[in-house]
Amino acid sequence: MSKREIIDCIMEINRGARPEFLAQFPVEELDLYLEHLMEVDLEDIALCA
């Protein structure tokens, strides 16, 4: 994924995230953050089920 695509995905999950802030980080860190957000999101779904 491109940096822009990763930022877009992060903003879908973390609606408080600002693209200007996220753009400061390297792609590798953004990718790790997105993975973390997706894990937490899945845990929340599992807890609600």
Angle ∠(43,14,2) on CA atoms, nearest 5: 105
Q: What is the pLDDT of residues 4-43, one digit of tens each?
A: 999 999 999 999 999 999 999 999 999 999 999 998 877 6
**What is the pTM for the complete model shown?**
0.82
Question: pLDDT value at position 40?
Answer: 86
Query: 41: closest CA among 19, 17, 12?
Result: 12
Q: Is the pLDDT of residue 44 over 90?
A: no
pLDDT band, very low/low/confident/very high, at 47 (cuts 50, 70, 90): low
Question: pLDDT value at position 41?
Answer: 72
Distance CA(48)–CA(18), nearest Å, equals 27
Query: 35: closest CA among 4, 15, 9, 5?
Result: 9
Please state the domain extents for the chain: 3-48
